[in-house]
Structure 1
Amino acid sequence: MPLPHDEAFKKLLETFFQEFIELFFPELDSMLDYSETRFLMQELLVDIVGEEARELDLLLEIRYKGLDGYILIHLEPQSYRDSRFHERMFIYFSRLFERYRKEHKLIIPIAIFTSDEIREEQDTLEMVIPEHQILRFQFLKVELRKQNWRRFIDSDNAVAAALLAKMGYTTREARDVRREFLRMFMKLKTRLDQGRLALVMSVADLYFQPDRVQDEEIIKELMIQYPEEGEAIMELMPAWKRWGYEEGIAEGIEQGIEKGQAEIIRKLLLHGFTPEEVSKAVELPVDEIKKLV
C-alpha cells in the first residue's frame, strides 16, 4: 500500500517553500523576493495524457528580481514511475502559459521525485526536424534518492530534516540517518513553533521505520554527546508517546538501569539537571533517581 504522503508532502512544500528552494536551487533562491509570495487557488487543468482533469499540486506567485515583476512557480511531487510524466509537465506548463502569459513573464515548473528507486527521470520534451529545433521544454527537478544524505546533516533547514530518510543511503547507514535526523530535529526545536515541528515530524515519520529500542539507544547517545542540549533532548521523550511508545520508554530505562545504564542518569545529574527534571524525562520515581546521586 502506497504511503499516504501526498497531502503531508504538499503541506511541507507550502509551509517551507523558501527553505525548499534554498536547499535545492540556490541560484534561483538568490533571484526570488519571498516577501511577496502568494499561493494561488489550485488550478484544474485537463490532463490530455491521462484523459482526466487534475489539480496542480502547488502554484504560487512570487516577485522575481531579474524581471522586476511577478512570476509563477509550479511544484509537482511525483512518487511513482510514469513514463509520460514529462509530457504531463509540458501540458501543465502550456495551460498555465495560455492563461497567465499576459500577467507573468516567466513560469518555472519544478518536479520533486520521491520514489525509492534510483533512476534518471526524464525532464525534457523535444520536437526536432533536421537542422531545426521546433521545441525544447525542460523543467527543474529534484531526485531525492540521488541526494547524498551526509550533505544535509549540518543544515538547520527544516526540509532537509523532514526529507532526510528519502535521501540516498545504504541499509548499513540507516541507523546513522535516524540518529542525525533526531539531532537535526533537536536543533529545530529551538527555532520552530509546535505546529511546524509537528509537520516536519509527520513527514519524516512517513519514511522512517522507527524502532523503539534503537531510538532509545540513540537518544541516550545524544544526551552524552551534547550535554549542553540536555533539556532539548529530554523534550523529545514525551513526544515518543505520540509515536506509539507509551510503555516502552519507562520499561527501557528501567531495563537500562538493571543492566548498568544508570550511568546515563548520573551524567545528567552531574550536568546540572535536578532529580525532578530527570524523573519527569525518564518516567521514573524521584526516589529512584535520588538513589543514584
Structure 2
Amino acid sequence: MNRDDTLWKAILEDIFDDFLRFFIPNADQVFDMQRGFVFLDKELEQLFPPEGDAFSNRSVDKLVQVFTREGEEKWILVHVEVQGYADAAFAERMFIYFARIFDKYRRPITAFSILTDRNSAFLPTEYRQDFLGTSLVYQFNSYKILAQDTAELAASDNPFAAVALVVQLALQKKKLTEEDLFSLKLSLAKALLTKSFDKQKIRQLLNFLRYYIRFEEAETITKFDQALDQLTNRQQTMGLEEFLLYRERKAGLEQGLEQGLEQGLEQGLEQGIEKGRIGKSRAVVVNMIRQTAFSDDQIADLAEVNVDFVAQVRQELA
C-alpha cells in the first residue's frame, strides 16, 4: 500500500458520515448516524486476498456496514472504490466486487467509485454483458474529482468537499511552480480553518492536506509548516514528513563525513547514512504519533517501517 492509499483509507473512516451526506442529500433521514459504522476491511480481504489473486493490485477500497432508520434492524453495505488511473477493466472489477459481496452477505449494496486520475475521458458507470439471450447491466455511482467545479466545492460546507479540493490541487501539481503550489496549498488550509467543522475533523483534514500534497524542496516544506503553525496557533513546531526525511538524511551524511576523518571517508559515510536512516525513521514516526490520529499500521505504511517499530516508539512516548 502506498502513502496516498493509506491517507484515503484513513480519511474515509474519519469523515464517513460526511461522505454519505455529500452523495446522499437525505442521508440523515436514511441512516442512523448515531449507531456509527463498521468497517469490514478484514472481511473484504477474505473476499479478495492480497496475494495470489487477480485483484491483488486493486486500488483503495472500503466496505462499510451502516444502519438505517427503519423500524426493523437491517443494514446496507457501501462499497467505496478510489481509483487513481484509467483502467479498461474497472467496470468489470466493480461488478465482480458486487457479486462476491452480495454472495456472502445477501444484503442491499450501493457502490461508489471515486476517480482520482487525470484522464478526463475515463468515467466508467456501468458493466454490461450480453450473450445468446442472457444480458446483464450493473450500474454504480461514479464521481470524477477532476471534473468537479472548484468554486462549488469551495463553497460547500461538507468536509468531503475539502478532500476533493485537496485531490484537485494534487492533480495540478505538475503544472505548478513550487511557489504557486505553496500559495494554493496554504490557501486551502486557511479556507479549511474558516469552516464550522468539528475540531477533530479539521485536524484530520489538515493531516490529509499536509501529506497528500507534497513539495519537492525541503525549504518549501519548512516554510509551509511554519505558516501552518501560525494559522493553527500550535505551540509545538514539528517538521513535515518530507522535511524530516531530508533533515535526517543530511545529518547522516554530515556525521558520516566527521567519522570519515578518523576511520576513512567511505566507511564513515556508510555508518553516518545508516545512523541517519534510523534517526529519520524514528523522527517521522514520532511526528505522526504526536500530530495525527493514525493507527500503528497506517503510520508504518506512511513511514515505510515495521509496525513493531511504531509500537515501540509509541510505548517510549507514553
Q: When the two structures are superposed, what TM-score results if normalisation uses the length of structure 2?
A: 0.57
- The one-letter amino acid of 1:24's match is F
Contact 1:110 1:139 in 2 (8 A): yes
- The one-letter amino acid of 2:63's match is L
Contact 1:162 1:201 in 2 (8 A): no
What is the aligned residue count?
A: 227
Matches within 5 A, 1:67-82: 69-82=74-87
Distance 1:118 1:150 in 2: 19
Contact 1:3 1:206 in 2 (8 A): no
Matches within 5 A, 1:1-20: 4-20=3-19
Distance 1:240 1:119 in 2: 41
Distance 1:67 1:144 in 2: 36
Pick closer, same or farther for the CA change 1:52–1:24 going to 2, 3 Å. Answer: same
Pick closer, same or farther for the CA change 1:66–1:191 going to 2, 3 Å. Answer: closer
Distance 1:239 1:74 in 2: 38
Pick closer, same or farther for the CA change 1:150–1:175 going to 2, 3 Å. Answer: farther
Alignment match of 2:93 (pick from 88, 96, 121): 88
1:122 deviation in Å? 1.4
Pick closer, same or farther for the CA change 1:73–1:190 going to 2, 3 Å. Answer: closer
Pick closer, same or farther for the CA change 1:76–1:42 going to 2, 3 Å. Answer: farther
Distance 2:34 2:184 in 1: 34
Q: Which ranges of structure 1 fall in alignment gaps of 5 or more residues?
A: 223-230, 247-293
Distance 2:239 2:196 in 1: 17
* Structure 2 SS opposite 1:110: strand
Contact 2:83 2:116 in 1 (8 A): yes
Match of 1:287?
none
Distance 2:242 2:9 in 1: 25
Cα root mean square deviation, aligned = 4.0
Pick closer, same or farther for the CA change 1:185–1:57 going to 2, 3 Å. Answer: same
Matches within 5 A, 1:75-224: 75-101=80-106, 104=107, 106-128=108-130, 134-167=135-168, 177-187=184-194, 191-193=198-200, 196-210=201-215
**CA displacement, residues 197-226 of structure 1 (integer Å, 9 cap, x when unaligned):** 443233223443458679979x99x9xxxx
* Structure 1 SS opposite 2:6: helix
Distance 2:14 2:242 in 1: 26
- The one-letter amino acid of 2:83's match is Q
**CA displacement, residues 134-166 of structure 1 (integer Å, 9 cap, x when unaligned):** 211011122111112211223343332233132
Q: Percent identity?
A: 22
Match of 2:315?
none
Alignment match of 2:68 (pick from 60, 64, 69): 64
After alignment, is 17-26 or 203-212 more displaced?
203-212
Distance 2:38 2:15 in 1: 13
Matches within 5 A, 1:36-51: 36=35, 37-40=37-40, 41-43=42-44, 44-46=46-48, 51=53
**CA displacement, residues 8-67 of structure 1 (integer Å, 9 cap, x when unaligned):** 1011101111111222332556422222332223322248xx943658831111123469
Distance 1:244 1:52 in 2: 33
- The one-letter amino acid of 1:110's match is F
Pick closer, same or farther for the CA change 1:243–1:189 going to 2, 3 Å. Answer: farther
Q: When the two structures are superposed, what TM-score results if normalisation uses the length of structure 1?
A: 0.61
* Structure 1 SS opposite 2:103: helix
Matches within 5 A, 1:272-287: none
Distance 2:48 2:38 in 1: 23
1:94 deviation in Å? 0.6
Structure with larger Rg:
1
Pick closer, same or farther for the CA change 1:234–1:65 going to 2, 3 Å. Answer: closer
Contact 1:146 1:167 in 2 (8 A): no
Distance 1:97 1:72 in 2: 9
Say whether 1:31 aligns with 2:33. no
**CA displacement, residues 53-111 of structure 1 (integer Å, 9 cap, x when unaligned):** 6588311111234695311111121112211011111111111111111xx2x111211
Contact 2:95 2:138 in 1 (8 A): yes
Structure with the largest fraction of helix: 2
Alignment match of 2:231 (pick from 212, 218, 233): 233
1:5 deviation in Å? 0.4
Which runs of structure 1 show a deviation greater than 6 angstroms over 4 or more consecutive aligned residues? 211-217, 243-246
